[in-house]
């Protein structure tokens, strides 16, 4: 790698370390990192501006606004109390309740919004029960309905359930009618 690539990598690593160590706000760290890259000549200000994906920025701003107003409604506090009441203070059951809640919410809104909505619910609970927050938030993020299914599974699902093709022979013994798997209520 040439020298400027190493300089850019060093600035990037320092910015990430500033975010991780919570020395400054993540936005401030990112802006300082970009400013330093422009200052040392890694890129010009025009190149930095052109590298921004403004569609993503608009989506993120919208998501942050939704999450901020959701937090101000008091719903996260209410959900925290209800989840704690239902779980009886048992951490395993609490994680399952929060995961199910996140899965239900993610059926209606974007998955990033679910994490931003559920973090204010999980944080007070983790503090109250003295649980590590990272596994709790990771479980919430993994509880989205599609997080467990790799793309190959979705293609198989689409071919088997969303087309008019007959059911695979492995389904015929389980009561399949009209090419769809049986659903029991």
* Chain segment 26-64, per-residue pLDDT in tens: 888 889 999 999 999 999 989 988 988 889 888 878 877
98 is a domain residue? yes
110 is a domain residue? yes
Residues 137 and 73 in one domain: yes
Exposure class string for 5-18: b at 16+ Cβ within 10 A, else e: eeebeebeeebeeb
Judge whether 145 and 131 are in contact, CB under 8 Å. Answer: no
Q: What's the total number of domains in the chain?
A: 2
pLDDT at 42: 92
Residues 46 and 72 in one domain: no
85 is a domain residue? yes
pLDDT at 34: 92
Residues 74 and 134 in one domain: yes
167 is a domain residue? no
Residues 72 and 135 in one domain: yes
Residue in 122, 54, 49, 68 with CA at minimum distance from that of residue 91: 122
Residue numbers in the chain where pLDDT is lower than 50: 147-158, 160-185
Its domain, for residue 135, covers 68-142
61 is a domain residue? no
pLDDT at 182: 46
How far apart are alpha carbons 134 and 119 in whole angstroms?
A: 10
The two tokens of residue 99 are 């995961």
- ∠ at Cα 115 (15, 101), nearest 5°? 160
pLDDT at 157: 44
The two tokens of residue 86 are 């239902």
**What are the residues facing 180 on neighbouring strands?**
177
pLDDT at 35: 94
pLDDT at 180: 43
116 is a domain residue? yes
pLDDT at 161: 44
Residues 91 and 117 in one domain: yes
pLDDT at 170: 43
pLDDT at 44: 92
104 is a domain residue? yes
Residues 77 and 47 in one domain: no
Residues 43 and 91 in one domain: no
pLDDT at 145: 60
Instruction: Please report where in the chains the tokens 């007070």 appear, as a residue.
Output: 124
User: H or E segment at 42?
Assistant: none
DSSP 174: T
152 is a domain residue? no
Residues 77 and 43 in one domain: no
């Amino acid at each position: 790698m040439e020298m400027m690539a190493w300089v850019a990598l060093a600035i990037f690593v320092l910015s990430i370390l500033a975010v991780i160590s919570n020395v400054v706000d993540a936005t401030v760290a990112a802006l300082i990192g970009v400013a330093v890259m422009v200052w040392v000549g890694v890129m010009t200000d025009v190149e930095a501006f052109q590298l921004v994906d403004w569609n993503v920025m608009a989506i993120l701003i919208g998501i942050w606004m939704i999450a901020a107003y959701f937090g101000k409604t008091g719903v996260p506090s209410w959900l925290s109390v209800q989840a704690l009441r239902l779980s009886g203070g048992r951490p395993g059951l609490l994680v399952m309740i929060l995961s199910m809640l996140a899965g239900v919410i993610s059926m209606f809104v974007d998955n990033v919004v679910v994490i931003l909505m559920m973090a204010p619910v999980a944080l007070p609970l983790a503090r109250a029960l003295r649980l590590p927050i990272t596994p709790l938030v990771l479980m919430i993020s993994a509880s989205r309905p599609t997080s467990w299914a790799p793309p190959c599974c979705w293609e198989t699902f689409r071919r088997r359930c969303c087309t008019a093709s007959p059911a695979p022979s492995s389904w015929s013994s389980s009561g399949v009618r009209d090419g769809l798997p049986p659903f029991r209520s």
